[in-house]
Amino acid sequence: MTRAFGRSFAAVALLLGSTAASAGESGMGYCMCTLTQGYWSTHSEYGPAPYDDAWSLLPDGADTAFFDSGLTWYEQFWTPPAGNAYFILSAQYAAAELNLLNGSMAPGRVQMALANAEALFEAQGDGDTTLTAMETRQATRWAAIIDDYNNGVTGPGHCDE
């Protein structure tokens, strides 16, 4: 299994003093707010909205492999979930990780949901985006926690775009 990106990369990027910032920039090289999956899906190098340089902190930008899913970070954002909890969770996870790369801080409950999501993604086989009934229930719960963070319900709040 190849690990294309995870929590440790986000921590390293922040420790190195990432200059990525978007709406809500604090002037210290990070922002203290979050943006939604809708924002992140449209602000990569593929547009259509202006590029947000937090994407540049992923090893290959929007083309970084999303774990072993067979998709890139950009592609997973644009894959219609059609009820598949893997894709519901992947979009929330990716948005939260980009928020963290952008300098936002996450509460402990969100960090735990992200760590659980990462473990789930890492456990999937190559190209496997199917989940068991138990994994689906867990993924749905974690996605809701992370969605609240991305939308500013929990954590530092939502950025004004």
Q: What is the pLDDT of residues 143-154, one digit of tens each?
A: 999 999 999 999
CA-based torsion, 82, 84, 85, 87: positive or negative: negative
What pTM was estimated for this model as a whole?
A: 0.84
What average pLDDT score do residues 77-89 get? 97
What average pLDDT score do residues 7-30 get? 40
Whether pLDDT at 1 is above 50? no
Specify the higher pLDDT residue, 141 or 29: 141
Whether pLDDT at 28 is above 50? no
Contact assessment for residue 8 and residue 122, using Cβ atoms and an 8 Å cutoff: no
Whether pLDDT at 5 is above 90? no
- Name, in order, each residue with C-beta under 8 angstroms of 39's C-beta and a sequence gap of 6 or more: 49, 52, 95, 161
Whether pLDDT at 73 is above 80? yes
Whether pLDDT at 19 is above 60? no
* pLDDT, position 160: 85
Specify the higher pLDDT residue, 128 or 29: 128
The candidate with the shortest Cα–Cα distance to 24, out of 52, 60, 46, is 52
Mean pLDDT of all residues in the chain?
86
Whether pLDDT at 24 is above 50? no
